[in-house]
Chains A and B, each alone.
Chain A
């Protein structure tokens, strides 16, 4: 009978007659060889189960040392992966049903057991338990695969989001570059066309000045208004021309500290008038940067004047220069901090747009920062403006080395 399946049964039954009956029935199985270990009490049964391989437990729940559900729970917690069949009397069938609900594979009413029912119950219990275990493993495996796939999808999704973000950025840069080019071309054309009529108006105004009574207050004030309007229009046009010509750079190595010092000298008068003091913290032995001296001084003067304008009641401008590490390598860094009121959040994203200005009343053209940014980009550098948590704003210029 070498090809008969061997099944190890732990039989827990305090009634020796029933135990013997079950042993006999199992021994007569034509298909399986049952190796039955019998214990009449729970404790020795659990001790055996804990240290011996078994394929199935057949147990009465009413034992000398344990009664009812605790018997079932003790067995199940000792051998959680072994199927259990409950033996029950006709009186406590309800408890057996309950045990099945809690995880027992089956129950047999002792008075109704015959060999056929017993063998079938044992074999089915083992098979069902094996299928359930396989199902549980498959479920776990499936969950793992779902989790893995979800993680992969999440990663792919993030990658896709990054690509979309990069494309949007590239597109925005292209649109911005195209906008700048159009504005540049327009600027140069418009500047020429507008400066000619301005020239006529200026000459005509001067001619009329010689004919009218300039001592009359109203006449004098009208002429002054005309002069102011002409100057303002000319300033805007000059800004446009600057804007259309920023591509003509004369690049040479320069000391950033010297460029900053030169620019500070140019705005000294404005600083004094606005009660703005300047603090300098210059890095020593900074490497020279490749720059157009005039253009970078134009950038620095523009930024310094913005900082002064941001502090109408006086304040402090602190300028720091250093070498800093950026994502694309080392760069010489110029930081201009002011102690003004900062830039309203809604304006931060727009400050570099051509014609964006908050100084309309003071005749700002709105070209300053857009030109500054374009000049920095021509130097392959960058500009960043952000508000300081302690108040005021910081402008950071980076010149790649």
Chain B
């Protein structure tokens, strides 16, 4: 498993996380952990220690912004790249700033596996 990157996807859409996991893991280059509850995100991340996190924005109980704040508060997790993967912006808006919106990396849903991989490669160079 050397060279396999660990990706955590935090998204309340169970099926979306499942499909992303299937598509990324099929390439043989990624190991994906799915977390559907924002409030469990930090604990799951601490246990899994991913190389990168895809984080949904609009989630029940706690939103992506608060989850990010908690991740950044944690010394062990604060340096892990986090990309917001959300339906609240359009691909056009995300692309306009070369993936950066309001100073944060964003990917717009729906997203192709190719774009997810490009994004991972960009942040895990």
B100 within 8 A of A: no
Say which one of B11-19, B35-43, B66-74, B75-83 lies at the interface with A.
B11-19
Per-residue interface assignment for chain B, residues 108 to 124, with 1 indicating a CB less than 8 Å from any chain A CB and 0 otherwise: 11111100000000000
A-B CB contacts (within 8 Å), total count: 60
Q: Cβ of A201: which chain B residues have Cβ within 8 Å of it?
A: 110
Contact (Cβ within 8 A) B90 A199: no
Contact (Cβ within 8 A) B13 A192: no
A213 within 8 A of B: no
Chain A minimum-CB-distance residue to B87: A195
Q: Considering the chains assembled together, what is the distance between the CA atoms of A234 and B109 in angstroms?
A: 9
Contact (Cβ within 8 A) A195 B110: yes
Per-residue interface assignment for chain B, residues 70 to 109, with 1 indicating a CB less than 8 Å from any chain A CB and 0 otherwise: 0000000000000000011111110000000000000011
Q: Cβ of A206: which chain B residues have Cβ within 8 Å of it?
A: 19, 23, 112-113
Q: Cβ of B92: which chain A residues have Cβ within 8 Å of it?
A: 238
Q: Cβ of A202: which chain B residues have Cβ within 8 Å of it?
A: 110-112
Contact (Cβ within 8 A) B22 A199: no
Q: Cβ of A242: which chain B residues have Cβ within 8 Å of it?
A: 90
Contact (Cβ within 8 A) A200 B26: no
Q: Interface residue count for A (Cβ, 8 Å)?
A: 21
Instruction: Tell which of B16, B22, B23, B87 touches A192, judged by Cβ atoms closer than 8 Å.
Output: B87
A15 within 8 A of B: no
A113 within 8 A of B: no
Q: Cβ of B49: which chain A residues have Cβ within 8 Å of it?
A: none
Contact (Cβ within 8 A) B112 A238: no
A19 within 8 A of B: no
Contact (Cβ within 8 A) A199 B110: yes
Instruction: Tell which of B13, B20, B23, B110 touches A234, judged by Cβ atoms closer than 8 Å.
Output: B110
Q: Considering the chains assembled together, what is the distance between the CA atoms of A198 and B109 in angstroms?
A: 8
A40 within 8 A of B: no
7 pairs from A and B in contact (CB 8 Å cutoff): A199-B110, A200-B15, A202-B111, A203-B16, A230-B110, A237-B90, A238-B91
A-B pairs with the 4 shortest C-beta distances?
Answer: A203-B19, A195-B87, A199-B109, A199-B110
